[in-house]
Amino acid sequence: MRDTATQDAEIFAMHRSHLFAIAYRMLGSVMDAEDIVQESYLQWQRRGDRAIASPRALLASDCQIDAQRKVSMLQRLTTGELVIAD
């Protein structure tokens, strides 16, 4: 029997292209989309032993939330609303 980490990685791999498509559509950048997909993977790994009825729905939701946060940050950076402290 495979361990949980292997099963989790396989489940994530099944949905990776869908997550990338979501992030790319929202961000318009391959590099930013890959960052979001990676963050989604890390969140997926940190979820613990919680049983997930629909991994695709959870992963897509997390991906969209992370992408929206990045969009908001980028908008604030371009409009000057976000000030980064030295």
CATH code where residue 43 lies: 1.10.1740.10
Q: Which is higher by pLDDT, 82 or 77?
A: 77
Residue 85 inside a domain? The answer is no
Q: How many domains does the chain have?
A: 1
Maximum distance among all Cα pairs of the chain, rounded to whole angstroms: 53
Residue 84 inside a domain? The answer is no
State the pLDDT at residue 73.
86
Residue 62 inside a domain? The answer is yes
Residue 45 inside a domain? The answer is yes
Domain of residue 70 covers 4-79
pTM of the model: 0.81
Residue 58 inside a domain? The answer is yes
Residue 51 inside a domain? The answer is yes
Q: What is the pLDDT of residues 25-76, one digit of tens each?
A: 999 999 999 999 999 999 998 887 778 899 999 999 999 999 999 988 888 8
Residue 57 inside a domain? The answer is yes
